[in-house]
Structure 1
Amino acid sequence: MADFEMKKRQSVSVFISHLRQSKQLRRFGDIIYVSRRMKYVVIYMDQDQVTSNVQRLKQLGFVKKVVVSPRNQINMNFDETLSKYRLTEEDQEKIKDQSEEK
């Protein structure tokens, strides 16, 4: 039995001039969302193909703008940031009093 290996994916927003060209974007990845009002398409593609695909997308005539999601650069480990902030003794007493009242 083959082991399941999860591929790293990244979101790319492609702003287009007409919605009928959105079907042509299927070859770059999985289309997740199409905004009819703002005329953009959200595509998920493999992370190792993002740079080459973005260059190819920008060369298409109907593409106005390509925006790559910055989620990979954001630190999602919030334990480190929360441990920097500590409650003062006064705040700890308030929380203790509120829990005792209930």
Structure 2
Amino acid sequence: MFAERLGYIVWFSDFKAARGLDKYGSLHYLSRKMNYAVLYMNADSAEEALRHLQKLPYVRKIERSYRGEIKTEYEKNVPDKTRFYSL
């Protein structure tokens, strides 16, 4: 139903030029202070887009985001200790 999406962190040197990264995927966030962008793209076209991104003069480094692979369902195995601290 939905295409698999991959997230990438793109470190750049020029903020104005980095606003054009939306041509390569969905631009989720741009950090002006730390000079990075969070970019999501379809998994089937990711390799080709990464090759184009690495050729851009203002891109310093591209890292894969592992946010989708991190477990987000938590279990509470520790007993509740709030009753010991009540008045």
- With the shorter chain as reference, the TM-score category is 0.7 to 0.9
Q: State the match for 2:15 in structure 1.
A: 19
Q: State the match for 2:50 in structure 1.
A: 54
Pick closer, same or farther for the CA change 1:61–1:69 going to 2, 3 Å: same
State the TM-score, normalized to the length of structure 2: 0.74
Q: Give the unaligned 5+ runs of structure 1.
A: 88-94
- Mapping for residues 1-102 of structure 1, pairs under 5 Å: 5-71=1-67, 74=69, 76=71
**Identity between Structure 1 and Structure 2 (%):** 26
Q: Distance in 2 between matches of 1:19 and 1:7?
A: 29
Pick closer, same or farther for the CA change 1:58–1:77 going to 2, 3 Å: same
SS in structure 1 opposite 2:45?
helix
Which one has the bigger strand percentage? 2
Higher relative contact order (CA 8 A, sep 6+): 2
Q: Once the 2 structures are TM-superposed, how far is the Cα of residue 30 of structure 1 from its aligned partner? A: 0.8
Pick closer, same or farther for the CA change 1:75–1:18 going to 2, 3 Å: closer
Moved over 2 A (4+): 74-79
RMSD after superposition = 2.6
SS in structure 2 opposite 1:67?
strand
